[in-house]
Structure 1
Amino acid sequence: MKNWLQAAFVRSPQTKSNTNSAMPLVALQLAHSAHSGHSAQWTPRNYAALAREGYQQNAIAYRCIRLIAEAAASVPLCVRNDNECIGDNPAVRLLRKPSPKISRAEFFETFYSYLHLSGDSFLEAVVVDGRLVALFNLRPDRMRAVTDHKGWPTGWDYEVGSKKRRFTTDPNSGRSLIHHARLFHPTDDIYGFSPLAAAAKAIDVHNAGGVWTKALLDNSARPSGALIYKGTSGSEHLSAEQFERLKSELDGKHSGAGAAGRPLLLEGGLDWKAMSMSPTDMDFLNARREAAREIALAFGVPPMLLGIPGDNTYANYKEANLAFWRQTILPLVRKTADSLGTWLADWYGDDLRIIADEDAIPALTLERAARWKALNDITFMSAVEKRERAGLPIEVVQ
């Protein structure tokens, strides 16, 4: 706050004729880079910068990723045999407790968080005596693809400092200790594209709006004002000593939130003209709200779930939450279950089928009950056909 206040007091060089013709005043105003001809500064599109500016310093992006990760991790994955989930086998036990260090929920929250932070998520399989015993999440910024002469990946390097581990695909069994999940990238055949990168400009605008708002608070929410010197004893201008003293007084005693409401004691010849919040400031606050909606849109989270004001897309919270589960969480979990099943089939057999247990999702209970009631009311289907249509095990009905 002191920097812009001091900069605002620095008067540009003027000719003597211009100085004499201008009304003597000391003006305080907020500067903006657009007014000075500077181009906008955007966050670099790399993992470290996006994670810092997006996840660690932006509440909207942080909450979006947490909402998605926690919701998706809460959906159980089950191993399916025909129309029934298997109660117990090695694959089931692995999915229930994939890592010995953390819980299942923490494991999958990490997996989904990495996926939305970088567009990529990596799992390492730990094999003992030919048996797959555990899975571990690997940081995506430490993974580098090893490619053949055609550009296709044949393995992965995991780099931590100066240390490097290489994971390659077994040429005989086709097994790979690394599972790579990615979000579609239109210009990259190997790595995924992060929602955080798509929302990067909106995140920068939102963060800049926070800095702007903080500046307003530090300046008692008054972005500009002017001290007009009317002149006394025949003098029309402040001397250099008077100007420096006035600048020091304003900077030290009348700026910042702690000085809000403090009376301004003026000497003879000085008149304070207060200015309210300018249209530029109001536009900046509105732009910040629009940026928050754009961030939520990139992640597929209804703004209503984030408490963003002014969004009436959904009639109520229940409909917004249902849309979030149907349009964002379920496609993500289904894709994850399918990719895990394809990867783990190398250990557990080609008939392995992993699906999301959608019946265990509380948010879809009412919708599921209505669907079952409609199915039960059908008169032209047998009980066996109804059970098959509902995805339930087919049993002999008495």
Structure 2
Amino acid sequence: MNITDWFQRKVSATTRALTLLMPLRPGSGLRGSYESLAREGYMQNSVVHACVKEIAEAAAGVPWSLYQRKADGDLEEVSAHPLLKLFDRPNPFQGKFELIERCVAHLYLSGNAYVEAVGPESRAAHAKTPPTELYALRPDRITILPDPTRFIRGYEYTVGGQTVRFAPEQVLHLKLFHPLDDWYGLSPVQVAALSVDKMNASDKWNAALLQNSAVPSGALVSKKRLTDEQYTRLKDEMRDQVQGIANARTPLLLEEDIEWKEIGLSPRDMDWIDGLRFSALQIAQIYNVPPELIGLQPATYSNRREARKALYTEVVLPVLARLRDAFNNWLLPRFGETLFLDYDADRIEALSEDRDSLWRRAVQSHFLTLNEKREMVGYDAVPDGNRVFLPQNLAALDDTAKSPPSDDRDPPTVH
């Protein structure tokens, strides 16, 4: 190594160290916020619950395939391999569907998802030896330990007052883009927090409205001062005889010099329904889930089918690509450098119509070579495939066009 290369590497390492020595900014961890995101978002808000459930279950239902990269660069599918067994049964408590579902759900709730590889006890062997089990870890229990030269020194997992430290090679960290955080991803629920709060407040307001006879709050106005005994008795009668669902629209019996005056706003004045629908559509927009799939728009067979296709194309396939690249970068090198794991988009039923259309376009494209058509539909090239094959009827028309006209043609028939 010459002095120039050494100096450039030294400057690069110093710059990186100065950047990563900066401490985590306050509030960047999820230990205090994930519970509120999950509780107020997924557990209390029907739209967030439906969006996350649609994305996670759709992603978990897509089949995966393992390929072996040959010397010439082509991929050959592998039907039996220890990695496939690990993927199908990642741990004694979960299958592949539940593992992927939990990872995607964590990712779209907190912006972060963590997968632990359980294998040999030797820390140095983690990056080289295949793991025996995979576990999806709760994001709020994970703390990232930054390192000035390696970016991440490790991870701390805390539960029940006990903390376990993981080496960087033991944990796969998936995160959504965050413009202001170098270590943690941005939660979609945090982006939709205002709409979530409005929906939750609207639901609570509507429930309270029903519990108070389905009318807004009002005031009992007395023209004379009530004694303490009269005041207490009137409050008890209002609570026992008027409030509650069972007493909805029950007539109110008032004594002398007492009248009822409404001081609240009606549901029409608050425009509660339109506001609730707008907040719900905002949440669906943030998750990029078609509103027809979660009951926010009228759904027919045709537009529901198009909505399902849009969900896979715009949401599910990108998150599967994120998982594929992460697994190939983190997990696959432990089983062999020539292995490649990929999801099988051809077996997604919602995209079968587009796949059939692609095949028809490939077959009907007579100006393409055989190998170009095979590449168009996802197949490898074949020897002697760089030729253009024309159907016989097109070849015959072409030959006829090139031949000179004959003088002894039959005269046209006149009817």
- When normalised by structure 1's length, the TM-score is 0.78
1:315 and 1:278, CA in 2 relative to 1: closer, same or farther beyond 3 A? farther
**Aligned equivalent of 1:322:** 309
Residues of 2 paired with 1:276 and 1:155: CA distance? 55
| Secondary structure in 2 matching 1:387 | helix
| Secondary structure in 2 matching 1:132 | coil
Residues of 1 paired with 2:92 and 2:81: CA distance? 18
Residues of 1 paired with 2:38 and 2:254: CA distance? 49
- 83-92 vs 341-350, greater mean Cα deviation: 83-92
- For residues 9-43 of structure 1, what are the alpha-carbon distances to aligned partners after superposition, in whole Å with 9 as ceiling and x for unaligned? xxxxxxxxxxxxxxxxxxxxxxxxxxxxxxxxxxx
Deviation of 1:311 (Å): 10
Deviation of 1:190 (Å): 1.1
**1:108 counterpart = 2:100:** yes
1:258 equivalent among 246, 251, 255 = 246
**Aligned equivalent of 2:78:** 86
**Aligned equivalent of 1:164:** 163
Letter in 2 for 1:158: Y
| Secondary structure in 1 matching 2:206 | helix
Residues of 2 paired with 1:333 and 1:143: CA distance? 23
**1:377 counterpart = 2:364:** yes
CA contact (8 A) 2:371 2:380 kept: no
Deviation of 1:246 (Å): 2.8
1:95 and 1:394, CA in 2 relative to 1: closer, same or farther beyond 3 A? farther
Residues of 2 paired with 1:162 and 1:274: CA distance? 52
| Secondary structure in 1 matching 2:224 | coil
Residues of 2 paired with 1:251 and 1:329: CA distance? 51
- 383-392 vs 179-188, greater mean Cα deviation: 383-392
CA contact (8 A) 1:83 1:392 kept: no
**1:124 counterpart = 2:116:** yes
**Aligned equivalent of 1:215:** 208
Deviation of 1:225 (Å): 4.6
Residues of 2 paired with 1:369 and 1:318: CA distance? 16
Deviation of 1:304 (Å): 1.8
Q: How does 1:25-40 map to 2 (within 5 A)?
A: none
**1:206 counterpart = 2:199:** yes
CA contact (8 A) 2:47 2:284 kept: yes
CA contact (8 A) 2:145 2:152 kept: yes
- For residues 192-239 of structure 1, what are the alpha-carbon distances to aligned partners after superposition, in whole Å with 9 as ceiling and x for unaligned? 11111111121111100011101111122211455565xxxxxx4243
| Secondary structure in 2 matching 1:102 | coil
1:150 and 1:237, CA in 2 relative to 1: closer, same or farther beyond 3 A? farther
**Aligned equivalent of 2:133:** 134
CA contact (8 A) 1:221 1:277 kept: no
CA contact (8 A) 1:222 1:277 kept: no
CA contact (8 A) 1:45 1:197 kept: no
Residues of 2 paired with 1:158 and 1:239: CA distance? 62
Residues of 2 paired with 1:319 and 1:165: CA distance? 47
- 385-394 vs 255-264, greater mean Cα deviation: 385-394
Residues of 1 paired with 2:140 and 2:368: CA distance? 54
Residues of 2 paired with 1:309 and 1:366: CA distance? 23
Point out the structure with max Rg over C-alpha.
2
Residues of 2 paired with 1:137 and 1:228: CA distance? 60
CA contact (8 A) 2:174 2:326 kept: yes
CA contact (8 A) 1:146 1:155 kept: yes
**Aligned equivalent of 2:274:** 286
Deviation of 1:77 (Å): 2.1
CA contact (8 A) 1:83 1:394 kept: no
Letter in 2 for 1:288: L
**Aligned equivalent of 1:177:** 170
Residues of 2 paired with 1:298 and 1:311: CA distance? 20
Deviation of 1:151 (Å): 8.1
The number of residues matched between the two structures is: 342
Greater relative contact order structure (CA < 8 Å, 6+ sep): 1
2:43 equivalent among 44, 56, 66 = 56
Deviation of 1:262 (Å): 2.0
1:332 equivalent among 313, 316, 319 = 319
**1:344 counterpart = 2:331:** yes
1:244 and 1:157, CA in 2 relative to 1: closer, same or farther beyond 3 A? closer
Deviation of 1:66 (Å): 0.9
**1:188 counterpart = 2:175:** no
- When normalised by structure 2's length, the TM-score is 0.75
Deviation of 1:328 (Å): 0.7
- 371-380 vs 205-214, greater mean Cα deviation: 371-380
**1:364 counterpart = 2:356:** no
**Aligned equivalent of 1:95:** 87
1:94 and 1:65, CA in 2 relative to 1: closer, same or farther beyond 3 A? same
Deviation of 1:325 (Å): 1.1
Q: List runs of 5+ in structure 1 lacking aligned partners.
A: 1-43, 170-175, 230-235
CA contact (8 A) 2:114 2:136 kept: yes
| Secondary structure in 1 matching 2:177 | coil
Percent identity reads 38
**1:143 counterpart = 2:142:** yes
CA contact (8 A) 1:119 1:183 kept: yes
1:309 and 1:251, CA in 2 relative to 1: closer, same or farther beyond 3 A? farther
Letter in 2 for 1:375: A
Residues of 2 paired with 1:322 and 1:370: CA distance? 14
Letter in 1 for 2:234: L
